[in-house]
């Protein structure tokens, strides 16, 4: 059964979509079967996966509104190496239209359940806000990966997001947890990066990933070519960092599986 990870942060410009696309590609490179779900109306993860958002037959909007089943909407991002549930501006209408649907916050969860056994990982790229689309992602997910820059205002936004996750866990999704915090656009020469890292380690402990994503020009260029950085330049520091992140996530998962008590065979 797939591990479902929502990539979320209500603050824009923190590398959320970059992380979604490149983590999906890096997990696929480890021979995992991966589905990337784009539920951001901007459709950046869709374009960054090499799929033209203006030429979609179906999108995540159609799945959320029940116009089609999720299998019919999924496309293959060949160069990236994973399956994609694409998005475009049609999804903007879902914010209002979902209000008239019962169990509106569970639409994505219900759709994913139909194919959860087909994948090892399902990555959900959320909008940069805490809206009904993000709520659908957090109800469907088992965990949340939070990309963030090491700056003062990022810590303020992080508090709000953690509170939201706690509220959803207590009301809609008791299994939701923080998968990890990922430092993006990291500059080790910056004193603030060091100070914020110290605070994150104090409050989140081993949920702070050891991997950091550096500022990297190849990482910034890759989306304009419609491919993950691993395809664009696999030797770049950005590509190597996301491969390291994928490895860290897989090792954590394996470690947790091994630490769980085995069922009695008697």
Report the number of distinct structural domains present in the chain.
1
Coil/strand/helix, residue 233? coil
Specify if 205 maps to a domain.
yes
Gap between the Cα atoms of 211 and 170, Å rounded:
30
233 is in which domain, residue-wise?
A: 3-254
pLDDT digits (tens, 9 = 90+) for 116-131: 999 999 999 999 988 9
Q: Strand 177-186 vs strand 82-85: parallel, antiparallel, or unpaired?
A: unpaired
How confident is the model over 84-104, as a mean pLDDT?
93
Specify if 262 maps to a domain.
no
Of 31, 11, 47, the closest CA to residue 246 belongs to 31
Q: Provide the pLDDT for residue 206.
A: 93
Q: Give how far Cα 159 sits from Cα of 10, 141, 201, 213, Å.
A: 11, 20, 15, 21
How confident is the model over 74-82, as a mean pLDDT?
98
**pLDDT above 50 for 266:** no
pLDDT digits (tens, 9 = 90+) for 140-181: 999 999 999 988 777 877 888 899 999 999 999 999 999 999
Q: Provide the pLDDT for residue 74.
A: 98
**pLDDT above 80 for 263:** no
**pLDDT above 90 for 255:** no
Gap between the Cα atoms of 155 and 198, Å rounded:
12
- Lookup: tokens for 219: 């990482």
Of 145, 144, 146, the closest CA to residue 169 belongs to 144
Specify if 142 maps to a domain.
yes
Specify if 17 maps to a domain.
yes
Coil/strand/helix, residue 172? coil
In angstroms, how far is CA 250 from the centroid of its own chain?
15
**pLDDT above 70 for 265:** no
- Lookup: tokens for 88: 């475009």
Region of 208 on the Ramachandran plot (φ > 0 left; ψ -120 to 50 alpha; else beta):
beta
- Domain at 222, CATH number: 3.40.50.300
0.85 exceeded by pTM: yes
pLDDT digits (tens, 9 = 90+) for 5-59: 999 998 888 999 999 999 999 999 999 999 999 999 999 999 999 999 999 999 9
CA dihedral 217, 218, 222, 224 (to 10 degrees): 40
Q: Provide the pLDDT for residue 261.
A: 62
Higher pLDDT residue, 142 or 258?
142
Q: Provide the pLDDT for residue 190.
A: 86
Specify if 260 maps to a domain.
no
- Lookup: tokens for 83: 């399956």
Gap between the Cα atoms of 55 and 208, Å rounded:
39
* pLDDT averaged over every residue in the chain: 93
Which ranges of the chain would DSSP assign to H, the alpha helix? Answer: 16-29, 44-48, 60-64, 70-73, 94-97, 107-112, 132-140, 152-171, 191-204, 217-221, 229-232, 237-259
Neighbours of 31 (CB within 10 A): 8
CA dihedral 223, 142, 112, 90 (to 10 degrees): -50
Specify if 91 maps to a domain.
yes
Gap between the Cα atoms of 246 and 27, Å rounded:
6
Coil/strand/helix, residue 185? strand
Specify if 215 maps to a domain.
yes
- Lookup: tokens for 130: 């805490």
Specify if 113 maps to a domain.
yes
Of 86, 6, 4, the closest CA to residue 51 belongs to 86
């Amino acid at each position: 059964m797939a591990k479902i990870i929502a990539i979320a942060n209500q603050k824009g410009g923190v590398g959320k979509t970059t992380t979604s696309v490149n983590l999906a590609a890096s997990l696929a490179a480890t021979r995992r079967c991966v589905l990337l779900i784009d539920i951001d109306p901007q459709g950046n993860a869709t374009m960054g996966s090499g799929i033209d958002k203006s030429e979609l037959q179906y999108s995540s909007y159609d799945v959320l509104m029940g116009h089609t089943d999720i299998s019919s909407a999924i496309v293959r991002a060949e160069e990236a190496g994973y399956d994609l549930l694409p998005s475009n501006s049609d999804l903007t209408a879902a914010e209002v239209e979902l209000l008239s649907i019962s169990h509106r916050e569970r639409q994505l969860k219900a759709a994913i359940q139909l194919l959860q056994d087909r994948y090892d990982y399902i990555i959900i790229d959320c909008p940069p806000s805490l809206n009904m689309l993000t709520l659908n992602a957090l109800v469907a997910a088992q965990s949340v990966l939070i990309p963030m820059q090491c700056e003062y205002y990022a810590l303020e936004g992080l508090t709000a997001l953690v509170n939201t996750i706690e509220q959803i866990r207590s009301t809609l999704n008791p299994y939701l947890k923080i998968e990890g915090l990922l430092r993006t656009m990291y500059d080790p020469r910056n004193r603030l990066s060091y100070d914020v890292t110290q605070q994150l380690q104090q409050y989140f402990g081993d949920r702070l990933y050891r991997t950091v994503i550096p500022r990297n020009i190849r990482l910034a260029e890759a989306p304009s070519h419609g491919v993950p950085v691993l395809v664009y330049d696999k030797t770049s520091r950005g590509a190597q960092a996301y491969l390291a992140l994928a490895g860290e996530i897989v090792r954590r998962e394996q470690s947790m599986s091994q630490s769980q008590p085995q069922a009695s065979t008697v």
